[in-house]
Amino acid sequence: MIRTLIVDDEPPSRERLRELLVDEPDVEVVGGCGDGCQAVVAIEELKPDLVFLDVRVPNLDGFHILESVGPGRISAVVFVTEHEEYAVRAFDVRAADYLLKPFSRERLQKALGRVREQITREKASDLTDQLAALLGERTPQDRYLKRIMIKEDGRLFFLRTPDIDWVEASGNYVRLHVGAESHLLREAMKGLEARLDPETFLRIHRSAIVNIERIKELRPLFHGDYTVVLRDDRELTMSAAYREKLAELR
């Protein structure tokens, strides 16, 4: 069964697509939403195989939704929109298909045929590689996170990555330090490091990443270690294993 999520800010459009999909025996619609932030949450919670994704939805457009979710979460994406100008970009990011509204049942079935072929062909690591291309085809600057979605105390908000002072490993989570506040994010340290711009963020320890702009001073310690003093006078340790990273500060 292909678990399917519909993301469109127009309720009639969502309902029409849902009605067309009822006749597809291998397709199960697990949800629908009309907001970019809601879509990110729904993808994480519902884990759909297929997302019908409108390019223009409030708060986050279709491409930023995919960026926020990250690679490996969705097997196939079909863009659904009234706007032709995004077609090239959609196929550049390896979308299974691109439907222009209004579309016929026959055109939808053609798209589903491509989705089925893609899901059958792309397994496990291949799916991860394919969705990594959603970000990989973009410019180097756009590959890195500009904001991070935080779910905390029943609310959802976005944190700009340049506002992060430093990142601390915390078990299966990382703790993002922003001024006097901190926020937990379920993410591996290594995974987050790969998604942060290395021009801005520097790994100094297996359990710490710092925003280079927040570094005030480096003090040498014994055995090749350094004390990293931030602008708020917080002191962190740069271990000798990351000593070569000092070259990036010059």
Q: Which of 138, 163, 185 is the last residue of a domain?
A: 138
Q: Which pTM value belongs to this model?
A: 0.54
Tell me the two tokens of residue 58: 């409030």
Q: Answer whether residue 143 is part of any domain.
A: no
Q: Answer whether residue 144 is part of any domain.
A: no
Cβ(79)–Cβ(94) below 8 Å: no
Domain identity same for 109 and 184: no
Domain identity same for 99 and 75: yes
Question: Domain range spanning residue 235?
Answer: 150-249
Reported as a single tens digit per residue, the pLDDT across 43-83 is 989 999 999 999 888 988 888 888 888 766 788 899 988 87
Q: Answer whether residue 185 is part of any domain.
A: yes
**What does the angle CA 185 – CA 172 – CA 50 come to, to the nearest 5 degrees?**
65
Residue 27 has pLDDT above 90, yes or no: yes
Domain identity same for 30 and 60: yes
Domain identity same for 130 and 90: yes
Domain identity same for 197 and 104: no
Tell me the two tokens of residue 153: 């105390």
Chain mean pLDDT for the chain: 85
Q: Answer whether residue 225 is part of any domain.
A: yes
Domain identity same for 123 and 156: no
Q: Which of 113, 138, 163 is the last residue of a domain?
A: 138
Domain identity same for 157 and 123: no
Q: What are phi and psi of 181, to 5 degrees?
A: -100, 160
Q: Which of 45, 43, 44 is nearest to 53 (CA)?
A: 43
Q: Where residue 79 sits, what CATH number does that domain have?
A: 3.40.50.2300
Reported as a single tens digit per residue, the pLDDT across 116-156 is 988 887 644 454 555 555 545 555 555 788 888 888 776 77
Q: Answer whether residue 145 is part of any domain.
A: no
Torsion sign, CA atoms 5, 11, 16, 22: positive
Residue 188 has pLDDT above 80, yes or no: yes
Domain identity same for 130 and 225: no
How far is the C-alpha of 197 from the C-alpha of 231, rounded, in Å? Answer: 20
Domain identity same for 15 and 112: yes
Contacts of 137 (CB under 8 A, 6+ apart): 92, 93, 94
Q: How many domains does the chain have?
A: 2
